[in-house]
Amino acid sequence: MFRTGIGFDIHKFVKGRKFILGGVEIPYEKGLIGHSDGDVLIHSISDAILGALGKQDIGYYFPDTDNSIKGISSKEILKKVLQFLKEEKYEIENIDSVVICEKPKILPFSDLIRENLSEIIDIEKKRVGIKAKTTEGIDREIDYCACMSVVLLLKK
């Protein structure tokens, strides 16, 4: 039995934070604001998995009103989501994600991000797709990074 899920996340860039994407620190003068480390890629993947499992989104399990998890690494969020996956006896067949931001350029880091995600999730790197897109300057007033992810799950 197959299941698919779609996840989306978006955060504004702010000075004074690290830019973490797919669990990798990307050199940049700004980072993404959020209750966690703001990793939109891991958030969208986590939500896609949860959606495929028919569960609530990550905000339900990791609410921004819970000060005990303020600043949590998104890798920890993904690890919790992967526990749900194992409990339901599903495995990830593949992930495909689109990262949208004007700056910085993501392409030079996409291979490292894919490698990092494949290690966290424990799947082959070739089953993790990452594409980087810009809005071609349409949204110059808003400095953000967004991500959409699709996952395909297979019942073990």
Helix, strand, coil tally for the chain in percent (to 5)? 35, 35, 35
Give the amino acid at 97: S
CATH number, residue 95: 3.30.1330.50
What predicted TM-score, i.e. pTM, was given to this entire model? Answer: 0.95
**Parent domain of 127:** 2-155
Return the residue matching tokens 């969208």.
Answer: 44
**Largest pairwise CA distance in the chain:** 46
Domain tally for the chain? 1
**Mean pLDDT of each 10-residue bin along the chain, 156 residues long:** 97 96 96 94 98 96 90 94 97 97 93 97 97 82 90 96
